[in-house]
Structure 1
Amino acid sequence: MTMNVRRLGGWALIVGTIVAAVGYLAANLLAPGSGEEVFRYQYWPLFELIALIGDVIIALGLPVILTFAGRAPKLHIIGYTGIFAALVMLNVGEGTTEAFVKPYLVDHGGIPAEEPAGFAAFGGVALLALVVGSICLGIAILRARTLPWWIGAAMIVSCIGGALGLPGAWFLLPDCIFFATLFAIGTFAVRGRTERASATIEQAVVSPAG
C-alpha cells in the first residue's frame, strides 16, 4: 500500500469514526423514552443514517490497519477480518434494520416479539467476530509496536466494556472507545507513522548486532 493510499485509508477512518460516533450519540442520547418509543422519534432514521454512512466510510478505510502489521501479521489479519465482519454484519446490516425497518413496524402493527429465524444466530456470529477481532487486533498492536501501546490496550478495553453491558447511557462508552482507537490508527496512517515506526524497529534490531 503506497503512502498516498495509506493516507487515504487513514482519512477514511478519521472521517468515518467521527460521522458514525455523531450519529450514534445523537440517536441514543436525544431520542426520548425507551424501548419501542425510541423508534417513533422523528429524527431517529436520520441519525441512524448518519451513523450508517460513517460505518461504510470506516469499512472502506479499515484495510489500512494491515499496514501496521509489523512483527504480528497473522494477528493483524485475524483482527482486521473479525472487525470488518462485525462492522458489516452489526453496524451496517443490523443497523439498517434499526434505522428503517423497526421505525416502520412500530407504526404498522408493532415490532414482533420473536425475531426472524436465524437472526439471533446471525447476531451471535457477528458478536463473536467482534470479540475475536478486537482482542486479536489489540494484542497484535501491542506485539507489533508500530503503534502506541495504549491503542492496543484501548481496543481490548472496548471489547471488555461491551461484554460487561454497562447500564444507562454508559453502554455507549465501549463503542466510543472503539471508534477512538480507529480514529487514532487513522491519524497515525495520515502522518505516515508506519514508516517511521518500522525504521525505529529495524534500527533497534540492527544496533545490538553492530
Structure 2
Amino acid sequence: MTTTTLFRGSAWCLVASFVLSLAGGVLHPIVDGASHSVDSMLAPLSPEAQLLIYAGAILLMLGLPGVYLWFREPLGRLGFAGLLLYFVGNALSAQSHLVVEAFVGPTLAADPGARHLVTDDGSIVTSGSFVALQVVGGLVLVGGMLVTGVALVRGRGLPTWLGAFLVLGALATFVPLPEVPVLTGLLIEVPRGLTVAVLGVMMLRSLRARPGAAVGHTVRHPSLTS
C-alpha cells in the first residue's frame, strides 16, 4: 500500500465521519427536552442514531493521524498537541458515551425493573465513575478543539475561518442551551465535524494535484487561502 493510498483513506474517513455523525446528531431522539431519558432511548431511531454517531467517531480516530501527518508543517507542535487531545478526548468521552447510550441505555430503559438506573440529568446511567469519565473526557475533547482551532488560525496556508469556527464551536459547548430536536445535533456535530471534513477535502484536492505525495515530502497548499 502506498502512502498516497493511506492519505486518501484518511481523508475519506474524515469526510465520512462528518456525514455519519451529522446524520446521527440530526436524527437523535430528543423527547421533552431530554436526549438521554428513558423516553428518548425508547423513541424511534434509537439506538440507530447513536450508532451512526459512534461509527463517525471511529472513522474520526482512523483519519486524525493521517491529517496531522499531511498538515504537520503548518500545524506545528501546537497542532500536534491539539489533535492528540482531540483523539484522546474522543476515545474517553465520545466513544464511551456512545457505547453506553447505544448498547446499554436502551436495554435498561426497556426493562421496567431497571429503567430507574437511567438518570434524569442527562448523564445516562447512575454511575459516578462514568460521569467522571465523561467530564474529564469532555474537557480533554473541548481542549483539543480549542488548541487545534488556534493552530489552524496560525498555520500558514490553512483557512483561518476554519480555525475560528472550531474555536467558537468549542466555546459554545459551555453555553447551557436547551435541547431541541435537529438543532442540538447541528450545534454539536457541525463545528467539529465540518472542520475535519474540510481538512479531508483539502487533502483529496492536493492528492489529485500531487498524486506522488509521500511521507517526508514538504506539503504545500498554494491554492488555499485564509
- Aligning the two structures, in what range does the TM-score lie when normalised by the shorter sequence? 0.7 to 0.9
Which deviations, in whole Å up to 9, do the C-alpha atoms of 1:126-159 show, x marking residues without a partner? 1121122111101111111232111111110110
Shift of 1:8: 1.6
Partner Cα separation in structure 2 for residue 25 and residue 55 of structure 1: 15
Alpha carbons of structure 1 residues 42 and 133: separation in structure 2 relative to 1, 3 Å: same
Partner Cα separation in structure 1 for residue 222 and residue 174 of structure 2: 34
Give 3-state SS (helix, strand or coil) of 1:99's partner: helix
Partner Cα separation in structure 1 for residue 156 and residue 97 of structure 2: 34
Does structure 2 conserve the Cα–Cα contact (< 8 Å) formed by 1:162 and 1:175? no
> Which protein is richer in helix relative to its size?
1
**Structure 2 partner of 1:40:** 42
2:145 to 129, 134, 137: 134
Which deviations, in whole Å up to 9, do the C-alpha atoms of 1:3-40 show, x marking residues without a partner? 33222211110011101110121123xx5444321011
The gaps in structure 2 that reach 5 residues or longer are 120-124, 208-217
**Structure 2 partner of 1:122:** 133
Give 3-state SS (helix, strand or coil) of 2:190's partner: helix
Partner Cα separation in structure 1 for residue 59 and residue 142 of structure 2: 21
Partner Cα separation in structure 2 for residue 146 and residue 6 of structure 1: 19
The gaps in structure 1 that reach 5 residues or longer are 201-210
Give the aligned residue type for 2:172: G
Matched, 1:162 2:173: yes
Does structure 2 conserve the Cα–Cα contact (< 8 Å) formed by 1:165 and 1:171? no
**Structure 2 partner of 1:207:** none
**Structure 1 partner of 2:210:** none
**Structure 2 partner of 1:107:** 110
Shift of 1:69: 2.7
Alpha carbons of structure 1 residues 44 and 178: separation in structure 2 relative to 1, 3 Å: same
Aligned length, in residue pairs? 198
Does structure 2 conserve the Cα–Cα contact (< 8 Å) formed by 1:69 and 1:146? no
Does structure 2 conserve the Cα–Cα contact (< 8 Å) formed by 1:70 and 1:198? no
Shift of 1:58: 1.5
RMSD of aligned Cα (Å)? 2.4
Partner Cα separation in structure 1 for residue 223 and residue 105 of structure 2: 51
Shift of 1:76: 1.1
